[in-house]
Chains A and B, each alone.
Chain A
Amino acid sequence: MAVGKEIRTQISSIKNTQKITSAMEMVAASKMKKAQDRMLASRPYSEKISNVIGHLAYAHTEFEHPYMKDAGELKRIGIIIISSDRGLCGGLNTNLFRSILKDITNYQAKGIEVDICTVGKKSTAFFKNTGLTIKSVLTDLGDTPHFDDLLGTIKVMLDSYDEGEIQQLSVAYNRFENTMTQVPTMMQLVPMVAGESDNMNHYWDYIYEPDAQEVLSALLTRYIEALVYQGLVENIACEQSSRMIAMKSATDNAGDMVKDLEMVYNKARQAAITQEISEIVGGAAAV
């Protein structure tokens, strides 16, 4: 029967798409678990190092590191933007970019210029067209990023801070709240904002080996790297869970569409049969 051939083709193509989206959903779900484990595994390091930085803020250090004091009036700031390499993960990247753009516009309104550093293909593609200076780019990190990969990118921005080109450095990423919620977050890296500390107001200082400047530089650089790395692994966990949700709803929507189209198809088929019968009956009556 020739009835509804187009509709049948459409139904089968939607069903194929549905198979793909449901497969992607399952892949994302299994990757999400691993990404979350990785995120939790790297948390102790960043928490511990934040504690030490907290102590440091209360110690009366003999040497004040540039990262710990104000760099003066803000003229130009740097932002490290962490996004995913691939799309099909709902509004994850778009929401992040929108919130960053809002912040950037605010800065520009105050006459502060913005340099950026992009991590991930999506942010690179997006911010290429905004006319901002891209200082460095890092893409193709995969699902298991290595700490080493980040060092170069961070160094470019920190050097730019050291040279006084920028007076503030932040990192922007999606914070993993839970599987359903990802929050676009902007966090200031340098100059450091003093953290909480427990009752350490009496006068004390560390013994430094080999010397204060060297140890503090090593520690603060690691602290910044740890924060960016934490942002990166959180963003990957966000990407996977967001993709899982997006693919789940795509699968559901495809199911609804198939249902609707099948209804239309059945109606058309029924109408064709009814018409045929009435034609036969009409024909028989005429003879």
Chain B
Amino acid sequence: MPTIHVDVVSATEELYSGEANCVFAPASTGEIGIYPKHVALLSTLKPGEVRVETDKGFEHIYVSGGIVEVQPDVVTIFSDTAIRAADLDESKALDAKMRAEEAMANSSGEKDLLSTQAALAESMAQLQMISKIKASKL
């Protein structure tokens, strides 16, 4: 029986690598089954279970979304490790700005003041960027 090579990887580790009879993946449009000699396919994944069928039985791997690439004899599944948000984390940037402002109010030395001023300018730039992104999306 022909087999297909399956790799399941995430940014921090290799989750599975080996030959399989077939593999099932939770594509964003519905679960897909991939057998050897499948046509080339590129699809996004939604969170769910990847099942790899080998001679020894099923291998179950949970993926939190990602991408699958199918070539006739190789399947590569990229699992996400990060939770994706469409926007930059605005509250973090705001926090950074507040911290910079706080430090500036409390600072005594001129050198301290200079470096916190620079930090403030940086977070201001970040915030500007965010509002620009938001404006362009509206």
Contact = CB atoms under 8 A, between A and B. Distances in A.
Nearest to B123: A137
A114 B3 CA distance: 50
Contacts of B71: 55
Interface in A39-54: 41-42, 44-46, 48-49, 51-52
B56 interface: no
Contacts of A284: none
A41 B13 contact: yes
B92 A152 contact: yes
Interface stretch (B47-55, B78-86, B101-109): B78-86
A44 B77 CA distance: 11
Given A159-B129, A209-B29, A204 B122 contact: no
B44 A210 contact: yes
Q: Is the interface of A mostly helix, strand, loop or mixed?
A: helix
Contact of B122 (A59, A137, A207): A137
Given A55-B69, A215-B43, A218-B44, A45 B28 contact: no
Interface in B24-53: 27-29, 39-44
Interface residues of A, number: 46
A204 B76 contact: no
B10 interface: yes
A210 B28 contact: yes
B126 interface: yes
A218 B14 contact: no
A216 B28 CA distance: 14
By size class, the interface of chain B is: 35 or more
A173 interface: no
B73 interface: no
B88 interface: yes
Contacts of A69: none
Contacts of B113: none
Contact of B44 (A160, A206, A215): A215
A216 B69 CA distance: 11
Contacts of B69: 52, 55
Contact of A128 (B13, B84, B118): B118
Given A45-B10, A210-B28, A156 B41 contact: no
Nearest to B40: A206
Contact of A44 (B14, B29, B85, B88): B14
Given A55-B69, A147-B12, A222-B78, A209 B44 contact: yes
Nearest to A212: B42
A44 to B, nearest CB: 4
* Nearest 4 CB-CB pairings of A with B: A209-B43, A206-B42, A148-B82, A44-B14
Interface of B: 7, 9-14, 17, 27-29, 39-44, 66-67, 69, 71, 76, 78, 80-85, 88-89, 92, 115, 118-119, 122-123, 125-126, 129, 133, 136
22 contacts: A41-B14, A42-B13, A44-B9, A46-B11, A48-B9, A48-B76, A51-B76, A52-B42, A55-B71, A59-B40, A125-B115, A134-B122, A136-B122, A137-B123, A148-B81, A148-B83, A155-B88, A159-B133, A160-B129, A206-B41, A210-B28, A219-B42
